Every structure is written in C-alpha cells, then in structure tokens.
Amino acid sequence: MTKLKMLLALLFAFTLVAAACSSSSDDDSASDDNSEGSESSSDDGGDDGDGGDDGESVDLTQGSDLTFHIITHSDDGPFWSVVKRGVDAAAEDLGVTVVWKPGVNDANVMVQDIETAIGEGTNGIGASLPDPDALVGPLQDAVSNGIPVITLNSGSNDYQEIGALTHVGQTEVVAGNGAGERFNAAGATKVLCAQQEQGNVGLTERCEGLAETFGGEVVTEFVGLDADTAEQQNTINATLSADPDIDGVLGVGPVVTMSALRAAQDLGRDDITIGGFDMTPELLAAIEAGDVAFTVDQQQYLQGYLTVLFLYLNVTNQNTVGGGLPVLTGPGFVTPDNAAAVVALSEQGTR
C-alpha cells in the first residue's frame, strides 16, 4: 500500500471513529451554521490543557521537511493535554514537525505566534479562535501568503471568513442544545450556566444553545477563572443561596463543573442537577458515581490529530475535507451509563 493510500485509509478510519463516538449526540449535523468552540472548550473553551513548553517540537522518526504550527488559547489544564497528544501522534505517524504554541487564553500572544509562524515560512497553521476580532485578520494574512489554515476547537462561525480549509471541532450552540434537552429530561426548571472565562465566544454560545432548548429559565454568570476554584465555588455557592429556585447548573468547562458540584454539596442541595462540558478524571469519577448527570464530550484528541492530518494531506496531495462545512468531532455525551468505558480511555490519554 502506498503512503498516500495508507493516509487516506487512516483518515477514513478516524472519520468512522468520530461518527461512532458522537452517536449519542442530540444533533451533530454538519449542516448547522452555528459555532463550535472552545475551550474551551475544554473548553475549554474555554477548557484547559497541558500545552507543554512554548515552542515545543515533536521528535520525528520518519523524516520530513514539513513544519506545521498549532496555535491555540491552550493553558496547562487537562483538556488541552489531550489535544496535544492527538497533535503529537499525528506528527509521529506522518513524519512532520509540529510546533505547539499555547496562548494561555491571551489572544495577543496568539497574534504574535501567528505572525512569527508566517515569518518563518510555516507549511500550515492550525489555530483556535476564541477572539475572532483579534485573530481573523492575522489568519487572513497567513492565507494571503499561501499558507493553508485550519481552525480547531473554536472558530466554526468564522473559518470561512478567514479562507480556512475547514474547521475541526464541535458546534457549540448544538452542544448547548443537547445539554438543554438533558436538563428538561431531568425535570429542572431554572439552570445556572456558569462560565469560567469572559469574552470567550464559544462559552457564550454554549449558554445560548442551552437557552434555546431548555424549557425553563437560564441564568448566565461568570463565576471566576479555573485558576481559582475556591473563588468559583464561593461564587456559585452565593448564587445558589440567593436564588433557591435554581435546580440545575451547567458548567461550561470541566473545572467549573466540579466547583458547582462542591458548592451544591456544601449547601446540601442534592436536588440540583449538575451537567458539564469536557472531561477530567475527577469529573469522570463524579459522573460514574452518579453525582454529575452528564458532560458534553467534544473528543478533543481528534481535534488535534485531524488538524495535522488535514494540513498534511492538503500540502502533499491538495486534498480538502468538509465540502465547505465544519468537520464535527462532537457533541457526544458521557453519562453514568458509559462513564466506565470512557474512564479507561482517559487513563490512556486519548479521551
């Protein structure tokens, strides 16, 4: 089998995995025009991650003169570490150099990294888009310089404006829609949508999607950064104490979801339904124990792996994917019914 045939077979296999793992999604049609996002989300999108050292390059065994840059708003939390494992695996499988640039939720740092990558003559850029106002222009400059761009994690509303090849991630509004339907099924009447970042479009869309399908009232609040979980917990505790009608909390990232669970437990409010976005070992354990009803899984390993694979196939074989639509990696849902299987995969670092 030629190398190209092997790569195309690999792409097909990962597409099947993405479809199978997202089968529990309430609506993950690629035709939806609404946004995906963060970590932001993880999630983490606003979500967190082990981005590794700034400028870290993957060691190669196959040899290649291609260098890609993955520039995201990643930090040192658990979400982005899984994205990076996907990036590293693709780099090793394809024999390319990938430079990982974590922006730590600072769009200005990401802009500088994009400009540096253009100046260095990168062969392709994968970028998240937590702040479109700051990042669309620099990425358009990359495309104007003949550099292929793919957005990942956050950016499904704006990748076409950039001229990106496609977007790899989940559609955040659709993911929020699915969360709203699960709160309806749980009998909740008023849900706090707890955000761990301000100004992150992906997190905003998660709450907007919740409000679209949830039959009751949604209260959206910024409750503090993931870096200070004590502040998060205290803020959520105060909100729940001030409004006893709140009987559901959706954390739009895994860390803030656990802060919500601890706040509810401190108040003795076992009547509150807790839902979340993305995954950490702690959150998965809480789901397995039945303390958290669900978390939305955007399968971030695929976001890293497929971005590198799609850039490689475009540069080496002029392939494009998506047909003008985003390539969706979610949403799927982890519940007490499937948590044990996902925990085993999480321990391997791929979920």
| pLDDT tens figures, 30-78 | 333 333 334 333 333 334 333 344 455 544 434 479 999 999 999 877 7
- How sure is the predictor about 280, in pLDDT bands with cuts at 50, 70 and 90? confident
Lowest mean pLDDT among 3-7, 245-249, 282-286: 3-7
Phi, psi of 105 (to 5 degrees): 60, 30
Q: Give residues with Cβ within 8 angstroms of 13, minimum separation 6.
A: none
| Per-residue confidence (pLDDT) for residue 7, from 0 to 100 | 55
Burial of 47 (0-12, 13-18, 19+ CB in 10 A): buried
Show the DSSP H helices in the chain as ranges: 3-21, 78-94, 107-120, 132-144, 159-162, 172-186, 201-213, 229-242, 254-266, 281-288, 300-317, 339-347
| Per-residue confidence (pLDDT) for residue 41, from 0 to 100 | 36
| Per-residue confidence (pLDDT) for residue 346, from 0 to 100 | 83
What is the CA angle 113-203-11, rounded to 5? 65
Residue 16 has pLDDT above 60, yes or no: no
Q: Quote the mean pLDDT of the chain.
A: 86
Say which CATH topology domain 173-297 has. Answer: Rossmann fold (3.40.50)
Give the number of other CB atoms < 10 A from CB of residue 337: 11
Residue 202 tokens, joined: 């992906």
Lowest mean pLDDT among 38-52, 74-88, 318-332: 38-52
Residue 23 has pLDDT above 80, yes or no: no
Domain ranges of the chain: 3-171+299-331, 173-297
Residue 318 has pLDDT above 90, yes or no: yes
| Per-residue confidence (pLDDT) for residue 9, from 0 to 100 | 56
| Per-residue confidence (pLDDT) for residue 311, from 0 to 100 | 98
> In the CATH scheme, what is the code of domain 3-171+299-331?
3.40.50.2300
Percent of all residues in the chain with a pLDDT value above 70, rounded to a whole number: 82
> What span, in angstroms and rounded, lies between the C-alpha atoms of 351 and 346?
4
| Per-residue confidence (pLDDT) for residue 32, from 0 to 100 | 36
Most confident of 5-19, 190-204, 246-260: 246-260
Q: Which residues pair with 102 in a beta bridge?
A: 72
Q: Could you tell me the pTM of the whole model?
A: 0.70
Percent of all residues in the chain with a pLDDT value above 90, rounded to a whole number: 72
Residue 14 has pLDDT above 90, yes or no: no
> What span, in angstroms and rounded, lies between the C-alpha atoms of 282 and 158?
33
Greater confidence (223 vs 48) lies with 223
| Per-residue confidence (pLDDT) for residue 13, from 0 to 100 | 52
| Per-residue confidence (pLDDT) for residue 35, from 0 to 100 | 33
Residue 320 has pLDDT above 70, yes or no: yes
Residues 145-186 have pLDDT tens digits of 999 999 999 888 899 999 999 999 998 999 999 999 999 999
Average pLDDT over residues 95-124: 97
| Per-residue confidence (pLDDT) for residue 140, from 0 to 100 | 98
Residue type, 305: Y
Residue 101 has pLDDT above 60, yes or no: yes
Distance of CA 286 to the CA centre of its chain: 20
| Per-residue confidence (pLDDT) for residue 79, from 0 to 100 | 82
Average pLDDT over residues 320-345: 93
